[in-house]
């Protein structure tokens, strides 16, 4: 059965190549540039392209602001998070910008509006005409058309997809069918057309009207209250002139009231005004009961920034990047100076901040980030400051009532704070449980090793994880070639093993010793030259950060230890660094298991080898799965 007309996008098959449709406008600008020997500032083609970019940035601004939880978590309208299903559905949210730009190019190229030929920068008469037409035409037309779209069969054919987004975001404003976009084009364009028809149009009016229109739409969909309810109390009529995110959120969830574009006066006149919007707006703005403010998390994963490029993978930057596993893209290079500036700013005056959240079985889990980058952890002068940041985060979590805080990657570095022991020893009365999660990390790596393996080669052998892996494997009568030049550290670990299993731990000091071993467990960076000693068919298991680069085509490379969160996780909308959707690092998963089990001990310092199987079984019991 063919889809209804104007219910699908004709360029859907083009994917990201849809922007090629704007190619003719670019060509026109280049032609005029060449003819005028300079940038054609009076070219409508140039202004259409600039408007396309400026309007897109308007929605991006509101998206970034709304998802900066360190600013907005207490003023959210709906507490739920956006999931990957909604992100994928809204992936081409900017289709409406492409269509409206093409319509604008068609109008500019037609004789319908002769006033367009003479570009005027400013004409106050046009502003009056546009305002009158917006109030007298655009608002009523949108209200009536919107109500019609909520009736059968139009709703199912054209509007249901838009309402399928559970939590409104600024980008949700652009998610719709061509019919809906044509309606928006009419109500946005009519005031401009009227101004030009009476000879009062101007380029300034086009920019201000279009950007103000987008600004108000993006604000309404932002899910964050920005206007104080006290303003509405001081000026009661303003309630019927300007809608709020709470007002639109009620419509989006319940679908039977609040149909206006920007002015609730239309709903008042039509008998469709939901007056609960005012109370909801106050609750959301003040962070009170009934609003969507994020409450106290019960579990926190304390991460840090890896490097400059990955810092742009945060959920409040580009959603198309944060919702997919991190990878270096050429498109990020122009933003590198901005990222560098933010790094300096965070280094000077920032503190730990909330990055993302999700819900698991009704419990709020959050990721916080220490405002430090990976390279800073290796600067001796930065060690004290980093530990202070981590300590303050732990104490803040303790005051808030967080039950478990899990340390990520370098935040639990042995040389930095003894795997978290520094904080637990300094604050013996902590109620929050501090967890490094390495027990589950070791379990994940160990359970990746095939049962028929009788010998492994282990680098990083005397590290926290290396020690635990070696002691566990020797108990299974698996020969462990421990690569270390420190006989003292090797002997210390060997003596921890039961006497009957000590023979399975063997110290080696050269990579050549593993040239016949096909199972390498890598806890230390390997260069191409070092990888060359592995025989063909070797599999490299890894717990080194960053992971080694796979130079050998005749070998296979495992990823960092990770687990998939339970299927009932809700509101997860971003990928954790290079992990796939729904997958988190094993140390993150270890903290989740610690919380779900309700264990009362801290997991810091050396790994308890006897608990590796206990933690693994608990993870599987709670629905976490190996990748």
Q: Domain count of the chain?
A: 3
Average pLDDT of 288-305?
92
Task: Note the pLDDT of residue 437.
Answer: 96
Kindly report, residue by residue over 457-486, the tens digit of the pLDDT: 999 999 999 999 999 999 999 999 999 999
Predicted confidence at residue 545, as pLDDT, reads: 77
* DSSP character at residue 80: P
The CATH number of the domain holding residue 522 is 3.40.50.720
Average pLDDT of span 445-451: 95
pLDDT confidence of residue 114: 63
**Cα–Cα dist 427/230, whole Å:** 43
Q: Are residues 608 and 525 in the same domain?
A: no
Predicted local confidence at residue 507, as pLDDT? 97
CA-nearest of 437, 401, 466, 464 to 602 is 437
pLDDT of residue 179: 97
Q: Are 436 and 587 in contact (CB under 8 A)?
A: yes
Rounded average pLDDT over 509-521: 96
The two three-digit tokens of residue 520, written as one number: 């390498």
Please report which residue ranges of 431-574 form alpha helices under DSSP H. Answer: 438-448, 464-475, 487-496, 528-531
Between CA 230 and CA 389 the distance in angstroms is 37
- Confidence at 110, pLDDT banded by 50, 70, 90: confident
* Same domain assignment for residues 22 and 142: yes
Angstrom distance (rounded) from CA 274 to CA 255: 11
Residue closest to 23 by CA, chosen among 107, 96, 109, 105: 105
Q: Which domain holds residue 220?
A: 12-286
Share of the chain above pLDDT 70, in %: 99
**Is residue 466 domain-shared with residue 614, that is, in the same domain?**
no
Quick one: pLDDT band at residue 546, thresholds 50, 70, 90? confident
Q: Is 163 domain-assigned?
A: yes
pTM surpassing 0.85?
Answer: yes
Per-residue confidence band for 366, with pLDDT thresholds at 50, 70 and 90: very high
Measured distance CA(576)–CA(579) in Å, rounded: 5
Residue 294 belongs to some domain of the structure: no
Final residue in a domain of this structure, among 286, 317, 339: 286
Mention every residue, 6+ apart, whose C-beta is less than 8 A from residue 522: 459, 460, 540, 541, 542, 543, 544, 548
404 - beta bridge partners? Answer: 299, 433
Q: How many residues does the chain have?
A: 627
Q: What is the pLDDT of residues 59-99, one digit of tens each?
A: 999 999 999 999 999 999 999 999 999 999 999 999 999 99
Measured between alpha carbons, how far is 120 from 200 in angstroms, rounded to an integer? 9
Instruction: Quote the pLDDT of residue 477.
Output: 96
pLDDT of residue 117: 67
Rg (CA), the chain: 29
The reply to whether 186 and 264 lie within a common domain is: yes
| Percent of the chain whose predicted confidence (pLDDT) is above 90 | 89
In angstroms, the CA 417 to CA 73 distance is 31
Average pLDDT over residues 572-592: 96
pLDDT bucket at 519, cuts 50 / 70 / 90 = very high
384 token code pair: 């004290």
Q: What is the pLDDT of residue 347?
A: 86
Bridge partner residues of 584 (DSSP) = 563
Q: Is 334 helix (H, G, I), strand (E, B) or coil?
A: helix
Within a domain: 4: no
Half-sphere exposure of 235 (CA within 13 A, CB side): 8
CB 291 within 8 A of CB 258: no
* pLDDT score for 7: 95
Q: Do 458 and 584 belong to one domain?
A: no
Whether the pLDDT of residue 115 is over 70: the answer is: no
Cβ neighbourhood burial of 277 (10 Å; 0-12, 13-18, 19+): buried
**Claim to verify: residue 408 and residue 502 sit in the same structural domain:** no
Residues 238 and 109 grouped into a single domain: yes
Cβ neighbours, 10 Å, residue 1: 3
Closest CA to 142 of 171, 201, 182, 103: 182
In which band, very low, low, confident or very high, does the pLDDT at 113 lie, cut at 50, 70 and 90?
low
What pLDDT shows up at residue 40?
84
Which of 230, 265, 286 terminates a domain? The answer is 286
Quote the pLDDT of residue 288: 82
Residue 212, in any domain of the structure: yes
Region at 6 (left for phi over 0; alpha for psi -120 to 50; beta for the rest): left
CA 242 to chain centre: 30
What per-residue confidence (pLDDT) applies to 476?
A: 96
Which has more confidence, 446 or 328? 446
Is 568 found in the same domain as 555? Answer: no
According to the model, what pLDDT value does residue 584 have?
97
Cis peptide bond N-terminal to 565, omega within 30: no
Averaged pLDDT for residues 405-416: 94
Same domain, 415 and 386: yes
Query: 308-323 pLDDT, tens per residue?
Result: 999 999 999 999 999 9
**Same domain flag for 492 and 444:** yes
Packing angle, helices 95-108 and 23-36, rounded to 10: 50
109 pLDDT more than 90: no
Q: Give me the mean pLDDT over the 547-566 stretch.
A: 93
**576 contacts 585 by C-beta, under 8 angstroms:** yes
Q: Pairing relation of β-strands 353-360 and 569-570? A: antiparallel
Q: Is residue 2 part of a domain?
A: no
Task: Give the integer Cα–Cα distance in Å for 604 and 465.
Answer: 12
Last residue of some domain: 535, 560, 585? 560
- Residue 35 covered by a domain: yes
Return d(Cα 323, Cα 574) in angstroms, integer.
4
User: Environment class of residue 510 by beta-carbon count within 10 Å: exposed (0-12), middle (13-18) or buried (19+)?
Assistant: exposed
Residue 586 domain-assigned (yes or no): yes
Sign of CA dihedral 168, 172, 177, 183: positive
User: What would the pLDDT profile of 254-264 be if each residue is shown by its tens digit?
Assistant: 999 999 999 99
Q: What number is the average pLDDT over the span 15-20?
A: 95
pLDDT at 108: 87
What would you measure as the largest C-alpha separation in the chain, in angstroms? 97
* Residue pLDDT, tens place only, 326-340: 998 888 888 899 999
In terms of C-beta density within 10 A (0-12 exposed, 13-18 middle, 19 or more buried), how is residue 184 classed?
A: buried
Do 505 and 612 reside in the same domain of the chain? no
Phi and psi torsions of 382, nearest 5°: -90, -10
| Residue 625 near residue 563, CB atoms below 8 Å | yes
Task: Evaluate whether residue 213 is within a structural domain.
Answer: yes
CA distances from 551 to 529, 531, 557 (A): 9, 8, 10
- Neighbouring-strand partners of residue 479: 455
List the strands of the sheet with 353-360, edge to edge: 433-435, 404-407, 299-305, 363-373, 353-360, 569-570
Residues 309 and 169 in one domain: no
Six-digit token pair at 17?
């190549």
Two structure tokens written together for 288: 């009170």
Contact 367, 353 (CB under 8 A): no
Euclidean distance between CA atoms 256 and 249, whole angstroms: 12
With 70 as the cut, is the pLDDT of residue 604 above it?
yes
Number of C-alpha atoms within 13 angstroms, CB side, residue 54? Answer: 16
Mean pLDDT across the chain, nearest whole number?
Answer: 94
pLDDT of residue 458: 97
184 vs 89, 161, 454, CA distance in Å?
A: 20, 16, 67
């Amino acid at each position: 059965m063919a889809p209804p007309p104007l219910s699908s996008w004709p360029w859907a098959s083009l994917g990201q190549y849809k922007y090629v449709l704007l190619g003719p406008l670019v060509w026109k600008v280049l032609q005029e540039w060449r003819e005028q020997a300079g940038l054609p500032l009076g070219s409508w083609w140039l202004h259409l392209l600039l408007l396309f970019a400026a309007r897109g940035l308007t929605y991006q601004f509101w998206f970034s602001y709304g998802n900066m939880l360190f600013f907005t978590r207490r003023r959210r309208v709906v507490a739920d998070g956006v999931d990957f299903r909604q992100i994928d559905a809204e992936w081409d949210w900017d289709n409406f910008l492409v269509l409206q730009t093409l319509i604008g190019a068609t109008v500019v190229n037609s004789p319908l509006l002769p006033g367009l030929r003479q570009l005027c920068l400013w004409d106050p008469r046009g502003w009056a005409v546009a305002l009158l037409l917006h109030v007298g035409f655009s608002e009523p037309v949108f209200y009536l058309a919107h109500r019609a779209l909520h009736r059968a069969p139009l709703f199912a054919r054209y509007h249901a997809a838009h309402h399928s987004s559970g939590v409104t975001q600024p980008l949700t404003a652009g998610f719709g069918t061509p019919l809906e976009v044509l309606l928006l084009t009419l109500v946005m364009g009519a005031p401009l057309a009227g101004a030009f028809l009476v000879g009062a149009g101007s380029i300034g009016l086009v920019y201000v009207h279009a950007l103000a229109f987008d600004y108000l739409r993006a604000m309404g969909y932002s899910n964050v209250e920005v206007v104080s309810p006290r303003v509405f109390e001081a000026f009661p009529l303003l309630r019927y002139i300007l809608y709020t995110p709470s007002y639109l959120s009620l419509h989006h969830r319940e679908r039977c009231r609040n149909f206006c574009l920007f002015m609730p006066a239309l709903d008042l006149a039509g008998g469709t005004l939901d007056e609960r919007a005012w109370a909801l707006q106050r609750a959301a703005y003040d962070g009170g009961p009934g609003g969507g403010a994020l409450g106290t998390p019960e579990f926190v994963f304390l991460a840090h920034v890896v490097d400059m490029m990955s810092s742009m993978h945060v959920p409040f930057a580009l959603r198309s990047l944060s919702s997919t596993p991190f990878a270096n893209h050429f498109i990020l290079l122009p933003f590198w100076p901005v990222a560098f500036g933010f790094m300096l700013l965070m280094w000077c005056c920032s503190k730990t901040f909330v990055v993302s959240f999700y819900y698991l079985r009704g419990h709020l889990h959050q990721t916080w980030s220490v405002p430090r980058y990976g390279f800073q952890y290796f600067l001796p002068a930065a060690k004290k400051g980093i530990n202070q940041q981590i300590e303050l985060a732990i104490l803040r979590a303790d005051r808030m009532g967080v039950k478990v805080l899990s340390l990520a990657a370098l935040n639990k570095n042995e040389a930095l704070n003894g795997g978290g022991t520094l904080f637990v020893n300094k604050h013996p009365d902590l109620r929050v449980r501090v967890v490094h999660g390495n027990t589950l990390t070791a379990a994940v790596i160990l359970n990746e090793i095939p049962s028929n393996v009788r010998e492994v080669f282990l680098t990083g052998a005397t590290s926290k994880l290396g020690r635990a892996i070696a002691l566990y494997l020797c108990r299974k009568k698996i020969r462990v070639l421990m690569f270390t030049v420190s006989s003292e550290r090797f002997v210390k670990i060997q003596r921890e093993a039961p006497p009957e299993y000590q023979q399975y731990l063997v110290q080696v000091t050269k990579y050549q010793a593993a040239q016949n071993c096909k199972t390498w467990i890598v806890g230390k960076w390997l260069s191409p030259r070092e990888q060359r000693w592995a025989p063909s068919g070797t599999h490299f298991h890894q717990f080194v950060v960053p992971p080694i680069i796979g130079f050998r085509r005749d070998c296979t490379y495992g990823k960092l230890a990770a687990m998939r969160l339970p299927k009932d996780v809700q509101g997860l909308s971003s990928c954790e660094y290079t992990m796939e959707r729904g997958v988190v690092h094993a140390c993150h998963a270890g903290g989740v298991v610690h919380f779900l089990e309700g264990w009362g001990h801290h997991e810091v310092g050396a790994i308890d080898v006897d608990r590796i199987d206990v933690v693994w079984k608990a993870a599987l019991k709670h629905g976490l799965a190996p990748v």
